[in-house]
Structure 1
Amino acid sequence: MVGTLTSFQNLSRDIPAAISQVAAQPFEAREVEYFSKTIQTIKSVEDFMADRRVYAFAMQAFGLGEMTYAKAFMEKVLTEGISDDESFANSLSDPRYREFAKAFNFESFGSAATSFDRAQGEVVDKYLRQTLEEGQDNEGVRLALYFQRKAPDVTSYLQILAQPAIATVVRTALGIPEATAALDLDKQVEILSAKLDLAEFQSPEGIEKLLTKFTALYDINNPQTTDAGGVGLLFGQSGALGIDMNTMLQIQQLRRS
Structure 2
Amino acid sequence: MTYQPIVPLSGYAGWKVLTRTMETQKAAFTASATVQSDEEYFRENIGNISSAEELVSDYKLLKVALGAFGLDDDIQNKFFIKKVLEEGTISEDAFANKLTDSRYSDLASAFGFDFTPPNTALSSFSDEILTQYEDRQFELAVGDSDETYRFALNVQRELPELAAEDGSENTKWYTIIGNEALATVVRTGLGLPESVASLDVDQQLTVYKQKAQQVFGSDDVSQFTDSENVEKLIKYYLLREQVMNGSTATSSSSIALTLLQNASSFSARF
Q: Deviations over 1:87-109 (max 9, x none)?
A: 00111111101110111111113
Q: Which of the residues 20, 23, 28 maps onto 1:21?
A: 28
Q: Give the aligned residue type for 1:201.
A: F
Matches within 5 A, 1:75-90: 75-90=82-97
1:160 aligns with 176
Return structure 1 stretches of 4+ with deviation > 4 angstroms.
none
Aligned residues: 223
Structure 1 residues without counterparts, runs of 5 or longer: 225-257
Displacement of 1:26 in angstroms is 0.9
Tell whether the 8 Å contact from 2:89 to 2:109 is kept in structure 1 after alignment. yes
2:201 aligns with 185
Question: Does the residue aligned with 1:85 lie in a helix, a strand or coil?
Answer: coil
Tell me the distance in 2 between the aligned counterparts of 1:148 and 1:77. 27
Q: Which of the residues 123, 129, 138 maps onto 1:132?
A: 138
Tell me the distance in 1 between the aligned counterparts of 2:122 and 2:228. 33
Tell me the distance in 1 between the aligned counterparts of 2:161 and 2:245. 27
Question: Does the residue aligned with 1:145 lie in a helix, a strand or coil?
Answer: helix
Question: Does the residue aligned with 1:107 lie in a helix, a strand or coil?
Answer: coil
Of residues 184-193 and 12-21 in structure 1, the stretch that sits farther from structure 2 once superposed is: 12-21
Displacement of 1:172 in angstroms is 1.2
Displacement of 1:118 in angstroms is 6.1
Tell me the distance in 2 between the aligned counterparts of 1:201 and 1:109. 36
Tell me the distance in 2 between the aligned counterparts of 1:123 and 1:21. 19
TM-score with structure 2 setting the length? 0.78
Displacement of 1:14 in angstroms is 4.8
Q: Could you say if the C-alpha distance between residues 14 and 3 of structure 1 is closer, same or farther in structure 2, counting changes exceeding 3 Å?
A: closer
Q: Which of the residues 64, 79, 88 maps onto 2:71?
A: 64
Max Rg structure: 2
Q: Could you say if the C-alpha distance between residues 191 and 135 of structure 1 is closer, same or farther in structure 2, counting changes exceeding 3 Å?
A: same
Q: Deviations over 1:178-225 (max 9, x none)?
A: 11111111211111110112233221111111111112222112247x
Structure 2 residues without counterparts, runs of 5 or longer: 1-7, 164-171, 213-218, 248-270
TM-score with structure 1 setting the length? 0.82
Q: Could you say if the C-alpha distance between residues 16 and 118 of structure 1 is closer, same or farther in structure 2, counting changes exceeding 3 Å?
A: farther
Tell me the distance in 2 between the aligned counterparts of 1:218 and 1:116. 43
Displacement of 1:28 in angstroms is 0.9
2:57 aligns with 50
Tell me the distance in 2 between the aligned counterparts of 1:181 and 1:18. 34
Tell me the distance in 1 between the aligned counterparts of 2:131 and 2:64. 11
1:123 aligns with 129
Tell whether the 8 Å contact from 2:151 to 2:185 is kept in structure 1 after alignment. yes
Confirm or deny that 1:150 pairs with 2:166: no
1:205 aligns with 228
Identity of aligned residues (%): 31
